[in-house]
Amino acid sequence: MEKFTKELLTAFLFSLSIILFSNVAFSEPQWAQKPIQCASPEEVFDRLDEDNLMPLFSATGNARVENNMYSKLYGMFYNEDTKYWAFVEFFDFETMCIIVVGEGVDFDVTPKKNSF
């Protein structure tokens, strides 16, 4: 009986290792490029003002530019009435970039069923 239990346990562990090994992804993350809108700070602020977007928060983050990493300032702008928002990168003194815009913000971070 003890031999049977050992063989059964060995078979189970072997099967489990095959299942786990087959689910391992062997690819590495890939860098992607996508278009963003960049302009002078004056033009970007004029665009934000058109939708009455106000600064909500700012943060420092990292940006990869031509294989170099730079520390940049980012800001989220928000209109509480329309729920429009924009995420902006302050690239340098002459250039700001609108990374993404959207509509609808939910500040409730409680996980919701079927949210993904």
pLDDT at 33: 77
Q: Is residue 111 part of a domain?
A: no
Domain range for 50 = 37-103
Q: What's the number of domains the chain is made of?
A: 1
What is the mean predicted confidence (pLDDT) over 24-34?
71
Q: Which tokens belong to 111?
A: 């996980």
Does an H or E element contain 64, and which? strand 54-65
Q: Is residue 5 part of a domain?
A: no
**Torsional class of 45: left (φ above 0), alpha (ψ -120 to 50), beta (otherwise):** alpha
**Confidence label for 70 from pLDDT (cuts 50, 70 and 90):** confident
Q: Is the pLDDT of residue 76 over 80?
A: yes
Q: Is residue 26 part of a domain?
A: no
Give the tens place of pLDDT for each residue, 53-65.
999 999 999 888 8
**Confidence label for 77 from pLDDT (cuts 50, 70 and 90):** very high
Give the CA distances from residue 89 to residues 21, 37, 107, in Å, rounded to whole numbers and listed in that order. 41, 10, 22
Amino acid at 51: D
Q: Is residue 12 part of a domain?
A: no
Q: Is residue 2 part of a domain?
A: no
Q: Is residue 91 part of a domain?
A: yes
What is the mean predicted confidence (pLDDT) over 78-99?
94
pTM (two decimals)? 0.65
Residues 6+ apart with CB under 8 A from 11: none
Q: Is the pLDDT of residue 20 over 60?
A: no
20 burial level (CB within 10 Å; 0-12, 13-18, 19+): exposed
Q: Is residue 71 part of a domain?
A: yes
Q: Is residue 77 part of a domain?
A: yes
**Cα 108 to Cα 90: distance, rounded to the nearest angstrom:** 27
